[in-house]
């Protein structure tokens, strides 16, 4: 049975030093100060992610090859492959959206799976960790938050509900294999713990550069001249320029965290205006062209009786972006004005912004799917509107803003929580 021996951890959210007793498969440990998860081990933590990743790649290839979705209206049929979700955007002169959708829905997930197979395969074959295995696991953790296959699946379901009253829908074998792919992909990604995999790669607990931090438990790492490596979660001295384990560059805090976050949040708020004012989708039916904004699409779904779908789109496209912007502004204000109160709640809010960020892409994916599938000339055709680009920019900017914010700054000068 796999296990992690007793070791020390620095929380990436509050900078608290904790002693983690040995943990076994199926267990996890949370920070005693802010409650965030520090490390965990799933059942069969080496073989399971490897097998899941292999199965996921096979299913994804099947999804690409097999017919995905088809429609029929008045004897005219149209079919869509998975790849056409992105390539159709090129035809409609939305190159940026095409590249973004392709990367987030296909390229990044596949690269993540390849990294998992390479790294875990090396561990299973007992190949000594090298430059390539370290780069592969770093790449995985960079790309996984930008992989949006689960968001894409929600968008497919929303699209099908929108179309059910307009056309006859035919589900292809590619759609079924994609559902299976999504299941195994999520299982693969969720089974990879950063601390555990780095420990297996470089045997951190047996490394000669190991600190005894028992006198600093419950205190802030930076106050005791220690720093957490953001790449491998290893403990280093502040005086180090690079991590002694993975050789990544070390910074005590993210550079210009507040300035970068504020700039990105303001840009996102500006882009949110045209995203809601201009049409996100253009429909041509029997030669009559009509447009719809995000809010008009929500009203249409509500009036059609699809209350759950209307609620999902409203939350993802209206509530989530606005909430992220307001939360990040609140966090920046708290740091700049030294409002170090209710820091645990604010840390939870920051974690929420990281989690929900990509789910706002549902509406953009819906437009991509519909514009790829509904191409029947004057009978019925759907095209993306300019708001799709603005809204996509809003999502990207808010995600970058959340990544640029350093939650450890919330805990500066907080004494009572340690």
Ordered by start, the domain boundaries in the chain are 3-411
Q: What is the pLDDT of residue 415?
A: 47
Rounded distance between C-alpha atoms, residue 222 and residue 228, angstroms: 9
Phi, psi of 107 (to 5 degrees): -65, -50
Strand, coil or helix: 168? strand
pTM: 0.88
Helix (H) or strand (E) holding 170: strand 168-171
Buried b (16+ CB within 10 A) or exposed e, 293-330: bbeebbeebeeeebeebbebbbbbbbebbbbbbebbbe
Rounded distance between C-alpha atoms, residue 284 and residue 240, angstroms: 61
Buried b (16+ CB within 10 A) or exposed e, 356-385: bbbbbbbbbbbbbbbbbbbbbeebbbbbbb
Q: What is the pLDDT of residue 265?
A: 96
Q: What is the pLDDT of residue 391?
A: 93
| Tens-level pLDDT at each residue, the chain (418 residues) | 677 777 888 888 888 888 888 888 888 888 888 888 888 888 888 899 999 999 999 999 999 999 998 888 777 787 888 888 888 888 778 888 899 999 999 999 999 999 999 999 998 998 887 888 889 999 999 999 999 999 999 999 888 888 877 788 899 999 999 999 999 999 999 999 888 888 877 765 545 445 678 888 888 888 888 888 888 888 888 888 888 888 888 888 888 889 999 999 999 999 999 999 999 988 877 667 788 899 888 888 888 777 888 888 898 889 999 999 999 999 999 888 876 678 888 888 998 898 888 888 988 999 888 888 887 666 677 888 889 999 999 999 999 999 999 888 888 755 444 3
Report which of 63, 168, 136, 405 is spatially closest to residue 264, judged by C-alpha positions: 405
Pairing state between β 281-285 and 288-292: antiparallel
The length of the chain in residues reads 418
């Amino acid at each position: 049975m796999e296990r992690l021996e007793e070791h020390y951890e620095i929380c990436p959210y509050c900078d608290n030093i904790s002693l983690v007793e040995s943990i076994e498969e199926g267990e996890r440990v949370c920070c005693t100060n802010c409650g965030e998860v520090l490390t965990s081990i799933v059942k069969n933590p080496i073989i399971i992610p490897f097998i899941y990743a292999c199965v996921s790649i096979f299913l994804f290839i099947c999804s690409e090859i097999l017919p995905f979705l088809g429609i029929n209206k008045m004897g005219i049929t149209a079919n869509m492959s998975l790849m056409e979700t992105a390539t159709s955007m090129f035809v409609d002169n939305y190159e940026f959206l095409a590249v973004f959708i392709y990367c987030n829905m296909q390229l990044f997930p596949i690269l993540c799976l390849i990294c998992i197979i390479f790294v875990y395969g090396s561990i299973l074959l007992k190949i000594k960790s090298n430059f390539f295995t370290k780069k592969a696991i770093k790449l995985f953790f960079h790309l996984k938050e930008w992989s949006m296959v689960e968001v894409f699946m929600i968008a497919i379901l929303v699209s099908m509900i929108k179309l059910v009253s307009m056309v006859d829908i035919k589900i292809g074998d590619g759609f079924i294999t994609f559902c299976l792919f999504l299941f195994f992909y999520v299982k693969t990604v969720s089974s990879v713990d950063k601390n555990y995999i780095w420990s297996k790669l470089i045997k951190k607990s047996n490394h000669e550069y190991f600190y005894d931090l028992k006198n600093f438990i419950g205190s802030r790492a930076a106050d005791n001249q220690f720093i957490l490596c953001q790449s491998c979660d290893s403990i280093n001295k502040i005086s180090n320029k690079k991590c002694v384990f993975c050789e990544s560059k070390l910074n005590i805090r993210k550079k210009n965290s507040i300035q970068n976050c504020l700039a990105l949040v303001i840009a996102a708020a500006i882009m949110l205006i045209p995203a809601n004012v201009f049409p996100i989708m253009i429909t041509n039916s029997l030669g009559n062209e009509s447009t719809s904004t995000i809010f008009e699409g929500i009203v249409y779904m509500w009036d059609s009786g699809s209350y759950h779908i209307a609620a999902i789109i409203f939350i993802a496209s209206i509530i989530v972006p606005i909430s992220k912007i307001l939360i990040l502004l609140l966090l920046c204000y708290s740091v700049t004005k030294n409002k170090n109160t209710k820091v645990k709640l604010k840390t939870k809010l920051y974690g929420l912004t990281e989690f929900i960020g990509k789910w706002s892409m549902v509406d953009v994916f819906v437009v991509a799917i519909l514009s790829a599938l509904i191409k029947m000339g004057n009978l019925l055709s759907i095209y993306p509107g300019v708001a799709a680009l603005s809204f996509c920019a809003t999502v990207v900017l808010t995600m970058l803003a959340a990544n640029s914010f350093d939650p450890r700054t919330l805990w500066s000068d907080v004494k009572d929580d340690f």
